[in-house]
Amino acid sequence: MNVTSVANELIPLLGGKENIVSAAHCATRLRLVLQDDNKINKSAIEQVDGVKGCFSNAGQIQIIFGTGIVNKVYAAFTAVAGISQASEGDVKKLATQKLNIVQRAARTLSNIFVPIIPAIVASGLLMGTLGLVRTYGWANPDSAIFIMLDMFSSAAFIILPILIGFTAAREFGGNPYLGATLGGILTHPALTNAWTVGSGFKTMDFMGIDVAMIGYQGTVFPVLIAVLFMSHLEKQLRRVIPDSLDLILTPFLTVVITGFVSLLFIGPAGRGLGEGITFVLTTLYEHAGWLAGLLFGGTYSAIVITGIHHSFHAIELGLLADKSVGVNFLLPIWAMANVAQGGACLAVYFKTKDARIKSIAVPAGLSCLLGITEAAIFGINLRFVKPFLAALAGGALGGAWVVASKVGMTAVGLTGIPGIAIVQSSSVLTYIIGMVIAFGAAFAIATVLRYNTDAE
């Protein structure tokens, strides 16, 4: 493949050089921000040599090339188009300006919680492993090494407000270290640990206001709202405080004012919001049962297209951190929807006679089993519509199964086969059965339905 020829072929299909605002790339995709997305010729782009799919998402035009190829195409593209190379973050900032308010909110939450996922995955994996060891009696839970590992497994959840405080302040334009400090205030040892509050807690009288001295360990919404307030306050203070005093007064006043407001008002309100969301979800989970799984599993992939699914991390972390719940019962449903996309995508491979489509369908379909669905959704299934509908049906059936079977996970971020590592030990088999149901149903339905590829 001649990458220079590919670049030259792409530019007019994107509306010309003057329509290209910025370009960047990730591991597999060329990411572009355009002046006018309506000027692109999507069907022609998908016929360009090396292109495995093209879709619009999060304000960007994303062209799938695959690992190892995209960086070469990117270098040639920026040279031919005469634009400077931008980071993926720069392109995302430009793209955000094109999103509606709901998509912007989802993107903001994604930027806050995605950097935290490695810590949650590490804790969740360790928590699941220790649960397996404890269940089968493979080690003494009173041993020093087990106790230490148990400490390690809960650490990320204990300091979750500090982690969120840092990333949220960075996203909201505040000082991330002040955000982390605010998270520390909300989890200070002087406050009764939120997980032991059943044993009693102290209250303090603050100017006639009765303040419950309860910490916010493992909570999400209190620190999120508090840091939003803090970042706004910090910006306003910098406008009025002289430069000579800014270094001293701005952080001092920001921490003091936000600390009081958070403990008195924002914290309790945020806790109530989180508990309300958890109550609604657990009620649906317990009483609607498999119907809830059918609905969520059948609609998740449609939500992925809008990008709003990025906001779900906040809710999932809230479930994990809530001691009355303690598991992520949403992620297994999302996992079924992702696997179903793979089943439908591979069905296209067996139905089509188009060699180009076949070459895309296999890696795209198998990637879904690892939790990576973009190539399958945008490169194959949505392109022919009916395979996407088949995947929705497969996701619905798989979702109904995992909810009926009470499958839970101990972390966020991993689906498909890698997700087995964070499934509760008692649910591993039912999780695998769910994947077989979702994949098999989507494959069967996509095979039976009638549709033609572009070349047929």
**What's the CATH code of the domain at 84?**
3.30.1360.60
**Between residues 110 and 70, which one has the greater pLDDT?**
70
54, 378 contact by CB (below 8 A): yes
Q: Is the pLDDT of residue 109 over 70?
A: yes
pLDDT band at 328 (very low <50, low <70, confident <90, very high): very high
Lowest pLDDT segment from 79-88, 208-217, 303-312: 79-88
Instruction: Encode 2-63 in three state secondary structure.
Output: CHHHHHHHHHHHCCCHHHEEEEEECCCEEEEEECCHHHCCHHHHCCCCCCCEEEEECCEEEE
In the prediction, which pLDDT does 387 show?
95
Write the CA distances from 382 to 39, 56, 325, 341, integer angstroms.
20, 12, 36, 10
Tokens of 90: 């720069």
Return mean pLDDT, the chain: 87
Across 49-68, average pLDDT: 83
Residue at which a domain ends, from 98, 123, 148: 98
Please give the residue range of the domain that contains residue 304: 290-448
Residue at which a domain ends, from 65, 83, 98: 98
Query: Does one domain contain both 239 and 307?
Result: no
**214 lies in some domain:** yes
Q: What angle do CA 431, 374, 372 make, to 5 degrees?
A: 40
Lowest pLDDT segment from 107-121, 201-215, 332-346, 430-444: 201-215
The helix, strand and coil proportions of the chain, stated in percent and rounded to the nearest 5, come to: 70, 10, 25
Tokens of 392: 């929705």
Query: Does one domain contain both 308 and 390?
Result: yes
In the prediction, which pLDDT does 256 show?
96
Residue at which a domain ends, from 98, 133, 148: 98
Query: Does one domain contain both 245 and 312?
Result: no
Query: Does one domain contain both 223 and 179?
Result: yes
In the prediction, which pLDDT does 413 show?
79
Q: What angle do CA 169, 173, 176 make, to 5 degrees?
A: 35
Tokens of 46: 């998908």
Query: Does one domain contain both 405 and 340?
Result: yes
Q: Is the pLDDT of residue 194 over 90?
A: no
Q: Is the pLDDT of residue 99 over 60?
A: yes
pLDDT band at 456 (very low <50, low <70, confident <90, very high): very low
- Determine the Cα–Cα distance for residues 261 and 76; give it in Å rounded to an integer: 53
- Determine the Cα–Cα distance for residues 135 and 127; give it in Å rounded to an integer: 12
Query: Does one domain contain both 303 and 417?
Result: yes
Count of domains for the chain:
3
Query: Looking at this protein, which amino acid is placed at residue 225?
Result: I
**147 Cβ neighbours under 8 A, 6+ residues apart:** 141
Task: Using the structure block, give the residue that is written with the tokens 């205030």.
Answer: 185
18, 82 contact by CB (below 8 A): no
**373 lies in some domain:** yes
- Determine the Cα–Cα distance for residues 209 and 261; give it in Å rounded to an integer: 12
Q: Report phi then psi at 20, rounded to 5.
A: -95, 115
In the prediction, which pLDDT does 355 show?
85
Query: Does one domain contain both 242 and 346?
Result: no
The verdict on whether 26 is a catalytic residue reads yes
pLDDT band at 240 (very low <50, low <70, confident <90, very high): very high
Q: Is the pLDDT of residue 193 over 80?
A: no
In the prediction, which pLDDT does 199 show?
60
- Determine the Cα–Cα distance for residues 91 and 233; give it in Å rounded to an integer: 28
6, 49 contact by CB (below 8 A): yes
Sign of the torsion formed by the C-alpha atoms of 349, 351, 357 and 359? positive
**429 Cβ neighbours under 8 A, 6+ residues apart:** none
Q: Is the pLDDT of residue 422 over 60?
A: yes
pLDDT band at 4 (very low <50, low <70, confident <90, very high): very high
Query: Does one domain contain both 395 and 430?
Result: yes
Tens of pLDDT, residues 175-187: 999 999 999 999 9
Across 254-269, average pLDDT: 94
Write the CA distances from 353 to 45, 347, 365, integer angstroms.
20, 12, 17
Across 227-254, average pLDDT: 94
Query: Does one domain contain both 246 and 303?
Result: no
- Please report the DSSP string for 201-251 in residue order: --EEEETTEEEE-B--TT-SHHHHHHHHHHHHHHHHHHHHS-HHHHHHHHH
Q: Report phi then psi at 407, rounded to 5.
A: -75, 130
Q: Is the pLDDT of residue 93 over 70?
A: no
Q: Report phi then psi at 104, rounded to 5.
A: -65, -40
Across 94-116, average pLDDT: 76
Query: Does one domain contain both 257 and 192?
Result: yes
Residue 329: which of 345, 340, 341, 318 has the closest Cα? Answer: 318
**146 lies in some domain:** no
Torsion, Cα 7 12 16 19, to 10 degrees, reads -90
Catalytic residue among 26, 54, 345, 368: 26
Query: Does one domain contain both 315 and 230?
Result: no
Q: Which of 255-293 are b and which e, b meaning 16 or more Cβ less than 10 Å from the residue's Cβ?
A: beebbeebbeebbbebbebbeebbeebeebbeeeebebb
**125 lies in some domain:** no
**379 lies in some domain:** yes
**393 lies in some domain:** yes
**130 lies in some domain:** no
Query: Does one domain contain both 282 and 309?
Result: no
Sign of the torsion formed by the C-alpha atoms of 303, 113, 95 and 48? negative
Q: Is the pLDDT of residue 91 over 80?
A: no
Tens of pLDDT, residues 198-238: 566 677 777 777 777 788 887 889 999 999 999 999 999 99
In the prediction, which pLDDT does 27 show?
73
**127 lies in some domain:** no
If you count them, how many residues does the chain have?
A: 456
Residue 376: which of 68, 23, 52 has the closest Cα? Answer: 52
- Determine the Cα–Cα distance for residues 90 and 412; give it in Å rounded to an integer: 27
What single DSSP character describes residue 328?
A: B
